[in-house]
A and B are shown apart, each in its own frame.
Chain A
């Protein structure tokens, strides 16, 4: 349906497109814009972070974006999901986001897909240039990581917990896979990691382990129990490394829901890194990025 009105990928850029994209063409040139017009993106997860990534990539003028989500709109979406109108009758997150997403840029094909990624065949990812996944289980992330590596499809995995967030990237198929960076066993810390491990790594690992065990992210309804649970995961590791147990005390109060300031930051960091990739200027030395909301710093790492 959307394809009737899109120009993307069909021959030369129209005058209208040039006008809309003027300010970014002045940054990355016509060549950059042309490359973007050919990129097909799969975006899994349409909560707040997904909405940010969708917005940024649609505005930038990629060829197409498939919004994939089988879940229903929840009350927590109001913390950061701005593509779903409050009076929407549509329950599915991707479907409910479709209209506002398409309106951002009629030149981009916006496609909705409500099948769970777990039910797709392994080769599903090969029809895309870039896959970006959010709000999946750690197990699904690991499967995606292997599938994309095999199919040589660039992969980004991102999550936001309250005001804290991270993303993982596999863009040159050289560095550790997701499952090797974030281990799914009791021993989160391994000797194979670089000597100086960034602190947010421990927090992220603990959050992912929490998710694996509880089948959900920490939730504001159960915030106190959830924080205790997180501490019980992370403290033994900190003890093992002789790091004080109080280093995350300030973080625990702000780890619930996807909060807008950080979906804004992580969503834009992932999008920008993906855009640079599409234009053959990848930031490829690293595989993980953390946004630390207490230190307010954003840093790439190779883990």
Chain B
């Protein structure tokens, strides 16, 4: 390790490297490379944490692991591997979730610097808050395919991870998924949803379709019905791909106008013999007959898995071959019915698993830059730690690793790092329960872990289970919340608090968002005006009456584990896929491409920098993976 050799670094730097305790969050693609670089540079007090185990698909880049280590804990194996080339380093490895309350303020306070090498927004936001609250510098990083980025975060000095809004994962209107799919992705989302219905938690809230799962007089859930018929593959096939479609067709009003009507499959399809499909490469598209055989086979295998876990629920996972086959076969059969092109196993896996391509080299470049940033941070040269972007291709000046011109200052209105952060929440108080408010808004959207909520001075949610408030099932209105109410939300664990001003807005139709969040009332008013100005161009008006809770859009990441995209910057899932496909087809390196989607964040960043109006920065932004 370099810092052990005199003359390699200046003496002050040498000591800082040797003595500074560093926390590395994540031992995946970037994590492995960073750990190697830290250890070789001479950092000798390190802790590393990761909750994952090693998988075969990690091995093309997570070089501290090999075939023999598949299934073992990443953090422990990573430690063992680096000790081989440098035994003189003190590494503590944790197999765990950084969001676990075990790793509180006392844990974070041990470190001089924290490095994020994470794959999901939730954990990133959490570490961001912990570092702000402990006033520890944080290096945030991510890669996606050929591109990537490194950002420095320090309270009061730079933007924090949450200073600018992040793009949302793509979601689809429920009625499109259920009744009027138009693209392969709609059928894939439906298939994952169907999996949950048949094998997942028996959640009566939502059912895949409106059909009565009869056999008895009473309405039963899809899962109950499947259990009654003992998961008979043929019966399931007929029910899902014939009876249910017939039922849809019986509702005349549903397929008026431009909507594509499903076409019933020939009854003979359900009778014919099974055909072989196992020899087909995953890059090729199966025939409809082959999909049917795959469907019948995987139902049998999945039923066996259900038996093994004693009929508890299964969680869909792209790395389980049977689960994957279920989605491939059922989405393709449904596509055929709705006259949508069929897709290969390989392509469906990308879409269903939200898989972000990942390579060793991009991770290594980002990891190298992270450690250079770390050296500058330790010597206090914060102004030198501008964000750095790795581009897929060099820009017209030949730059491929590009930095921001200046370190960006914190957003004074940030709801996380600014002291007087207040946001405006627009929601239908009659259409959301206290529990949904906690889960969907406080935890999922605002990334809190254990919130306490006071409304106009009265507690409605408590992180202490002993406080039996019994309000969970009540709507916000029933819990005493009014238009204009002020919530004071406090997450003791994250040492984070925020004020929320509530604006009641009736949810008139299914397509309306469940809730919207604004920086202030002005933003809300502007948004409303814009909405009124734009004529309703929704040709998707849904004729199915809404029937359930406020979870009416299907998140594309439904039931997907965090495992995917180890080296990813954000959870911007589906959008990324479209960009990635662009990249894959890319054949002309001379063309500077504009990403199809520019996130809100990028637009904001560009606006803020209008006065600097530097071409370089905008170009760098285009390659920004966030």
Q: Which residues of A contact B (CB under 8 A)?
A: 16, 18-30, 48, 52, 55-56, 59-61, 75-76, 78-87, 100, 103-106, 162-163, 219-221, 223, 253-254, 256-257, 259-265, 267-269, 271-272, 275, 281-283, 285-286, 289, 291, 293, 295-302
Partner of B60, one of A24, A81, A83, A269: A24
Question: Given the complex, which residues of A lie within 8 Å of B63, measured CB to CB?
Answer: 55, 59, 104
In the bound complex, how far is the Cα of B375 from the Cα of A86, in angstroms?
25
- Asked whether, in the complex, the Cβ of B364 is within 8 Å of the Cβ of A27, the reply is no
Nearest residue (CB) in B for A275 is B361
- Asked whether, in the complex, the Cβ of A300 is within 8 Å of the Cβ of B394, the reply is yes
Question: Given the complex, which residues of A lie within 8 Å of B260, measured CB to CB?
Answer: none
Partner of A23, one of B358, B368, B398, B584: B358
In the bound complex, how far is the Cα of B399 from the Cα of A297, in angstroms?
8
Question: Given the complex, which residues of B lie within 8 Å of A295, measured CB to CB?
Answer: 403
Contact A281:B589 (CB < 8 A) given known A75-B5, A286-B398, A301-B398: yes
The 6 closest A-B pairs by CB, nearest first: A220-B7, A298-B401, A264-B368, A27-B357, A260-B40, A300-B398
- Asked whether, in the complex, the Cβ of B587 is within 8 Å of the Cβ of A281, the reply is yes
B283, CB-defined interface residue at 8 Å = yes
B411 to chain A, nearest CB (A): 24
- Asked whether, in the complex, the Cβ of B393 is within 8 Å of the Cβ of A22, the reply is no
Question: Given the complex, which residues of B lie within 8 Å of A87, measured CB to CB?
Answer: 87
B61, CB-defined interface residue at 8 Å = yes
- Asked whether, in the complex, the Cβ of B403 is within 8 Å of the Cβ of A82, the reply is no
A74 to chain B, nearest CB (A): 11
A242 to chain B, nearest CB (A): 23
B378, CB-defined interface residue at 8 Å = no
- Asked whether, in the complex, the Cβ of B394 is within 8 Å of the Cβ of A261, the reply is no
A294 to chain B, nearest CB (A): 8
- Asked whether, in the complex, the Cβ of B355 is within 8 Å of the Cβ of A23, the reply is yes
Question: Given the complex, which residues of A lie within 8 Å of B361, measured CB to CB?
Answer: 56, 60, 268-269, 271-272, 275
In the bound complex, how far is the Cα of B42 from the Cα of A76, in angstroms?
12
- Asked whether, in the complex, the Cβ of A59 is within 8 Å of the Cβ of B5, the reply is no
B583 to chain A, nearest CB (A): 7
Contacts between the two chains (Cβ within 8 Å), count: 213
Please indicate which of the listed interface residues B145, B350, B590 has the most CB atoms of chain A within 10 Å of its own CB: B145
Nearest residue (CB) in A for B398 is A300
B66, CB-defined interface residue at 8 Å = yes
- Asked whether, in the complex, the Cβ of A24 is within 8 Å of the Cβ of B359, the reply is yes
Question: Given the complex, which residues of B lie within 8 Å of A106, measured CB to CB?
Answer: 67
B292, CB-defined interface residue at 8 Å = no
Contact A297:B589 (CB < 8 A) given known A23-B60, A26-B357, A86-B87: no
B402, CB-defined interface residue at 8 Å = yes
Question: Given the complex, which residues of B lie within 8 Å of A81, measured CB to CB?
Answer: 85
Question: Given the complex, which residues of B lie within 8 Å of A286, measured CB to CB?
Answer: 394, 398
Nearest residue (CB) in A for B586 is A281
- Asked whether, in the complex, the Cβ of A298 is within 8 Å of the Cβ of B85, the reply is no
- Asked whether, in the complex, the Cβ of B8 is within 8 Å of the Cβ of A268, the reply is no
B2, CB-defined interface residue at 8 Å = yes
Contact A291:B398 (CB < 8 A) given known A21-B60, A104-B63, A275-B361: no
Q: Can you pick out 24 interface pairs between chain A and chain B where the beta carbons lie within 8 Å of each other?
A: A16-B56, A20-B56, A22-B60, A27-B358, A29-B584, A48-B40, A75-B5, A78-B1, A79-B2, A82-B85, A85-B84, A86-B84, A104-B66, A162-B8, A253-B10, A259-B41, A260-B36, A263-B368, A265-B401, A275-B361, A283-B394, A296-B401, A297-B402, A297-B403
Question: Given the complex, which residues of A lie within 8 Å of B10, measured CB to CB?
Answer: 253
Question: Given the complex, which residues of B lie within 8 Å of A272, measured CB to CB?
Answer: 146, 359, 361-362, 365
In the bound complex, how far is the Cα of B145 from the Cα of A87, in angstroms?
36
- Asked whether, in the complex, the Cβ of B364 is within 8 Å of the Cβ of A23, the reply is no
Question: Given the complex, which residues of A lie within 8 Å of B84, measured CB to CB?
Answer: 85-86, 100
Partner of B589, one of A16, A27, A79, A283: A283
The 8 A CB mask of B556-599 against A (1 = contact, 0 = none) is: 00000000000000000000000010011011011000000000
Question: Given the complex, which residues of B lie within 8 Å of A265, measured CB to CB?
Answer: 364-365, 368-369, 401
B105, CB-defined interface residue at 8 Å = no
Nearest residue (CB) in A for B10 is A253
In the bound complex, how far is the Cα of B40 from the Cα of A285, in angstroms?
34
Question: Given the complex, which residues of B lie within 8 Å of A254, measured CB to CB?
Answer: 9
In the bound complex, how far is the Cα of B5 from the Cα of A219, in angstroms?
11
- Asked whether, in the complex, the Cβ of A18 is within 8 Å of the Cβ of B282, the reply is yes
Question: Given the complex, which residues of B lie within 8 Å of A56, measured CB to CB?
Answer: 360-361, 364
- Asked whether, in the complex, the Cβ of A86 is within 8 Å of the Cβ of B85, the reply is yes
In the bound complex, how far is the Cα of B626 from the Cα of A301, in angstroms?
28
Question: Given the complex, which residues of B lie within 8 Å of A20, measured CB to CB?
Answer: 56-57, 59-60
Partner of A256, one of B7, B37, B61: B7
- Asked whether, in the complex, the Cβ of B7 is within 8 Å of the Cβ of A80, the reply is no
Nearest residue (CB) in B for A162 is B8
- Asked whether, in the complex, the Cβ of A268 is within 8 Å of the Cβ of B360, the reply is yes
In the bound complex, how far is the Cα of B391 from the Cα of A300, in angstroms?
12
Contact A264:B85 (CB < 8 A) given known A78-B1, A162-B8: no
Question: Given the complex, which residues of B lie within 8 Å of A18, measured CB to CB?
Answer: 282
Contact A19:B57 (CB < 8 A) given known A56-B361, A254-B9, A264-B367: yes
- Asked whether, in the complex, the Cβ of A260 is within 8 Å of the Cβ of B37, the reply is yes
A122 to chain B, nearest CB (A): 31
Question: Given the complex, which residues of B lie within 8 Å of A257, measured CB to CB?
Answer: 2, 5, 8
- Asked whether, in the complex, the Cβ of A221 is within 8 Å of the Cβ of B66, the reply is no
Question: Given the complex, which residues of B lie within 8 Å of A162, measured CB to CB?
Answer: 8
Please indicate which of the listed interface residues A219, A262, A272, A291 has the most CB atoms of chain B within 10 Å of its own CB: A272
Question: Given the complex, which residues of B lie within 8 Å of A104, measured CB to CB?
Answer: 63, 66
Question: Given the complex, which residues of B lie within 8 Å of A299, measured CB to CB?
Answer: 394, 397-401
Partner of A261, one of B282, B372, B384: B372
Partner of A259, one of B2, B66, B282, B355: B2
- Asked whether, in the complex, the Cβ of B357 is within 8 Å of the Cβ of A23, the reply is yes
Give 13 A-B pairs besides A23-B359, A253-B9, A271-B360 with Cβ atoms closer than 8 angstroms. A27-B359, A29-B584, A48-B40, A56-B360, A79-B41, A82-B40, A221-B7, A260-B36, A264-B37, A272-B361, A281-B586, A283-B589, A297-B403
Question: Given the complex, which residues of A lie within 8 Å of B145, measured CB to CB?
Answer: 27
In the bound complex, how far is the Cα of B364 from the Cα of A268, in angstroms?
6
B388, CB-defined interface residue at 8 Å = yes
B533, CB-defined interface residue at 8 Å = no
B254, CB-defined interface residue at 8 Å = no
- Asked whether, in the complex, the Cβ of A28 is within 8 Å of the Cβ of B584, the reply is yes
The 8 A CB mask of B162-188 against A (1 = contact, 0 = none) is: 000000000000000000000000000
- Asked whether, in the complex, the Cβ of A300 is within 8 Å of the Cβ of B60, the reply is no
